[in-house]
A and B are shown apart, each in its own frame.
Chain A
Amino acid sequence: MSEVWSYLVTNGDDVLTALVQHIWLALLPVAIAFVLALPLGALVHRYGPVRHVALTAGSVIYTVPSLALLLLLPGLLGTSVLDPINVVIALTLYSLALLVRTTADGLDAVDPTVLQAASAMGYRPVRRWFTVQLPLAMPVILTGLRVATVANVSMVSVAALIGIGGLGQLFTRGFQLGFYLPPIVIGLVLSVALAVVADLLIVAVQRRLTPWARAGAR
């Protein structure tokens, strides 16, 4: 325990940098994927044939091991192997694969009679989508977002294996030092804490955005 503390005192700056980078590398892809998943999920929801293609593509992406993807991307994109953009793109793809599916599921779950009632009240399609359909799909979409966020926080660690920052660097350092525990423990605790905090934040947003979803559970 004291070793962990002294490691923190000596390498505090490195740990902090790794944490900040971890946050960026994990959350930026989720944010990008979330924005992209809305139109794509809507497309999948709307058009039957697109559904099959998109969901199959998503499953295929998910089966590609993350390390392989991180090594493949520089070759495909012409980026440097050490460029963090590879991580961002790889994780965006994973998140997208998950979020397109949950967004479509969320939209599918909206009661069609409610949408019909909205049209009958005189909603035009765009306004109906943003003020009725999307809010009603939110509980399912946000549940998907929670899964994607937690998964990303853990997956970013892999990036350290190819020399990109994040808390994963603390693991690799521990191994390089002959299974020296302090950096490994610190990396583990911070990474779990980050996942928990991010999850709680999304839950807080969810409670704020969808108070009605809880009202039903009498």
Chain B
Amino acid sequence: MIEFESVTKRYPDGTVAVEDLSLKVGTGKITVFVGPSGCGKTTALRMINRMIEPTSGRVLIDGDDVTGRPEAELRREIGYVIQGAGLFPHRTVLDNVATVPILQGVTRRDARTSALGLLERVGLPANLGERYPSQLSGGQQQRVGVARALAADPPVLLMDEPFSAVDPVVRDDLQQELLRLQSELGKTIVLVTHDIDEAIRLGDEVAVFAQGARLAQFAPPADLLAAPADDFVASLVGRDRGFRGLGFADGSEITLRSIDHGVDGLALEVDPDGRPLGWRGADGLLPTEGTFRDGANLRTVTDLVILSPAGAAVRVDAEGRADGLVLLEDLAGSVRSQQRERLAALAMAEEAR
């Protein structure tokens, strides 16, 4: 666990980058620091590996004050991914990845061998190993950056705007990759971003920093969407927080109808194996626009219902056979009760305080 204990960073010119910050970053979780530029989120991140020293307060990793350890030694045990990857241009991809193990005394040969395995782990072909960073695309460089940070198998990973410098499609890939990696590795990750959507997608917990280095809210993303602490968080989270919040709601509680249930003159047509083909009506066969499986969230189901020409989402089983329909009216009922439960939970929490 990483703990900030009333940490303040004040520069000699009087600028306060972080003021009286206290929060706990859970072990094995992704904690995202999000906020506008100049809100102190990066400063807070850099105090964890002593790139910046606090003016007052303490940063603890597993109970030990980070200032109690020599900087270089501490940093070798904390992975660091920087915006734009920050790779060493004069070293090949493999040598870049091997950096920290070599600093820790592993032979170059061994370090390069394990680096090869790490390339695979982050989804890069081994033949990129002997290239120089300038010969890679931005997305590939960023993956190398992640591999380099993971090379010494550090328990803690710090990521400073890791995906800001790549285009949206690549960013989406990298985010998915990070979630996949994290499900295998279970590192304690602190990630800084100015992109609230990235924060909501990646974070187990999200710390929203406001201007003036104030911690506006620290909560799981679902709570952020359901109950923004103030106007600042609400505006950061954005207008369609209701719809996005459905992404954290279980879709399996909605009433399921039989697939023979006709909707508005349309009937679901399936192939001999039971896989959905489309909606048959007077105008011929219309597409289903996708299907969902058990365990899908409410946002996915809602999206399918909206897209469907019949106003009904088709559920399929593991073999892809249609086994139920969600109708617009059933969905509406479910969303309504979902929001009532949310408000009730909020009221309970308020009372408990």
Residues of A within 8 A of B158 (CB): 120
Interface string of A174-218 (1 = CB under 8 A from B): 000000000000000000000000000000000000111101101
Q: Does A42 contact B (CB under 8 A)?
A: no
CB–CB A120/B89 < 8 A: no
Q: Does A132 contact B (CB under 8 A)?
A: yes
Interface string of B82-116 (1 = CB under 8 A from A): 11101111110000000110011000000000000
CB–CB B87/A122 < 8 A: no
Residues of A within 8 A of B72 (CB): 122-124
What range describes how many residues of A lie at the interface? 20 to 34
Q: Give the contacting residue for A122; candidates B76, B132, B134, B135; CB below 8 A.
A: B76
Complex CA–CA separation, A176 to B84 (angstroms): 66
Interface class of chain A by DSSP: helix
Q: Give the contacting residue for A120; candidates B80, B88, B91, B135; CB below 8 A.
A: B80
Q: Does B73 contact A (CB under 8 A)?
A: yes
Residues of A within 8 A of B132 (CB): 211-212, 215-216
Residues of B within 8 A of A211 (CB): 132
Residues of B within 8 A of A114 (CB): 86-89
Residues of B within 8 A of A136 (CB): 88-90
Q: Give the contacting residue for A118; candidates B74, B84, B88, B135; CB below 8 A.
A: B88
Q: Give the contacting residue for A216; candidates B88, B91, B100, B134; CB below 8 A.
A: B134
Q: Does B188 contact A (CB under 8 A)?
A: no
Q: Does A60 contact B (CB under 8 A)?
A: no
Given contacts A215-B131, A215-B134, A216-B132, contact A120 B75 (CB under 8 A): yes
Least distance between A153 CB and chain B CB atoms (Å): 30
User: How many residue pairs, one in A and one in B, have C-beta atoms under 8 Å apart?
Assistant: 70
Residues of A within 8 A of B51 (CB): 116, 119-120
The 5 listed contacts between A and B (C-beta, < 8 Å) are A114-B88, A121-B148, A136-B90, A211-B132, A212-B91
Residues of A within 8 A of B99 (CB): 121
CB–CB A121/B131 < 8 A: no
Which partner residue on chain B sits nearest A218 by CB separation?
A: B135
- Not counting A114-B89, A215-B135, a sample of 17 additional A-B residue pairs whose C-beta atoms are within 8 angstroms of each other reads A111-B89, A113-B82, A114-B86, A117-B80, A117-B88, A120-B158, A121-B80, A121-B100, A122-B71, A122-B72, A122-B73, A124-B72, A136-B89, A136-B90, A213-B90, A215-B134, A216-B134
CB–CB B90/A121 < 8 A: no
A residues sitting closer than 8 Å to B (CB atoms) are 111, 113-114, 116-124, 132, 135-136, 210-213, 215-216, 218
Number of interface residues of B (CB under 8 A): 28
Given contacts A215-B131, A215-B134, A215-B135, contact A121 B89 (CB under 8 A): no
CB–CB B103/A123 < 8 A: yes
Complex CA–CA separation, A120 to B81 (angstroms): 9
Q: Does B308 contact A (CB under 8 A)?
A: no
Q: Give the contacting residue for B76; candidates A116, A121, A210, A212; CB below 8 A.
A: A121
CB–CB B103/A210 < 8 A: no
Which one of A120, A211, A216, A218 has the highest number of Cβ atoms from chain B below 10 Å of its Cβ? A120
CB–CB A113/B91 < 8 A: no
Least distance between B263 CB and chain A CB atoms (Å): 56
Complex CA–CA separation, A117 to B87 (angstroms): 8
CB–CB B134/A212 < 8 A: yes
Complex CA–CA separation, A141 to B14 (angstroms): 39
Residues of A within 8 A of B148 (CB): 121
CB–CB B75/A216 < 8 A: no
Complex CA–CA separation, A216 to B75 (angstroms): 30
Least distance between B97 CB and chain A CB atoms (Å): 11
Complex CA–CA separation, A61 to B151 (angstroms): 50
Least distance between A152 CB and chain B CB atoms (Å): 28
Nearest 8 CB-CB pairings of A with B: A117-B86, A216-B134, A122-B76, A122-B75, A120-B80, A215-B132, A212-B132, A122-B72
Residues of B within 8 A of A132 (CB): 88, 90
Q: Give the contacting residue for B89; candidates A116, A123, A216, A218; CB below 8 A.
A: A216
Which partner residue on chain A sits nearest B84 by CB separation?
A: A113
Q: Does B31 contact A (CB under 8 A)?
A: no
Least distance between A105 CB and chain B CB atoms (Å): 17
Residues of B within 8 A of A120 (CB): 49, 51, 75, 80, 82, 158
Given contacts A121-B80, A216-B134, contact A210 B90 (CB under 8 A): yes
